[in-house]
Amino acid sequence: MPGLICGIALSAHLLMNGNYNAIHPYCNYETPKSYIAGAYYNSVDRMSLFAGYKWRLNSDISMDIVAVTGYYEYDIVPSVRLNYKNVFVMPAVEEDTVGIVVGLDFKF
């Protein structure tokens, strides 16, 4: 849905060892052609900027494919997030471990 959206996402990091922030306030903008850009407070307690594309599979399911900043020594990393209504799932990497982030997204 095009326009400005702000909210709070709550996340859990599964199969990972670190201690991660679970509360992520955010704002993002979606264009009529499904390009997205925005900012959020990430899991490692830093601000992240992102830009990419929202691929809509139907009215309830979408996938965000973005480039994002704010994660440790990397300037920009790719990210993908699968969304079903207000639930999301995405992969996460912690050193040599691959985990899963699951969460709930509450839009204002």
From 24, 26, 33, select the one nearest 1 (Cα to Cα).
33
Read off the pTM: 0.92
**What average pLDDT does range 90-100 have in this prediction?**
91
Per-residue pLDDT at 1 exceeds 90 = no
Instruction: State the pLDDT at residue 31.
Output: 97
Instruction: State the pLDDT at residue 52.
Output: 98
Model confidence band, residue 2 (pLDDT cutoffs 50, 70, 90): confident
The Cβ of residue 50 has, within 10 Å, a number of other Cβ atoms equal to 22
pLDDT per residue as tens digits for the range 21-79:
999 999 999 999 999 999 999 999 999 999 999 999 999 999 999 999 998 778 999 99
Instruction: State the pLDDT at residue 39.
Output: 98
Residue 89's identity, in one-letter code, is V
